[in-house]
Amino acid sequence: MSFLLCVAEKVLDGLFQHPVKKASLHKNSCNILLFGAGGQLGLKLHGLLSARGSVHALAHRDLDLRDLPRLRELISDTRPGLIVNAAAYTA
């Protein structure tokens, strides 16, 4: 898990330093939509992302990602500059 978090942190650092992405993220007040926030990875990512903007964190109980109309509505309402999917499939 710690290796994955190191990779995620490096990716986020790069994303937030990229000139085009940086302008886009700041234009949208850095709203971040995080799916899978109730899982192990989602909880850790929430901590990393919180330092970079306003995080709308959703767990499975909040939204079923297969519900496309609700997903579209959520994205339209929150207008995120960044969407992170940490949701996992559990059989």
Q: What percent of the chain has pLDDT over 70?
A: 71
- Cα of first residue to Cα of last residue in the chain, in angstroms, is 21
φ and ψ at residue 72, rounded to 5 degrees? -60, -45
The yes-or-no verdict on residue 2 having pLDDT over 90 is: no
**Mean pLDDT for the chain overall:** 80
> Which band of pLDDT confidence, cut at 50, 70 and 90, is reported for residue 5?
low
The yes-or-no verdict on residue 26 having pLDDT over 60 is: no
What per-residue confidence (pLDDT) applies to 28? Answer: 45
Long-range contacts of 50-58 (CB under 8 A, 24+ apart): 52/12, 52/16, 53/25, 53/29, 53/81, 53/82, 54/29, 54/30, 56/31, 56/32, 56/80, 58/33, 58/34
Please indicate, yes or no, whether the overall pTM of this predicted structure exceeds 0.85.
Answer: no
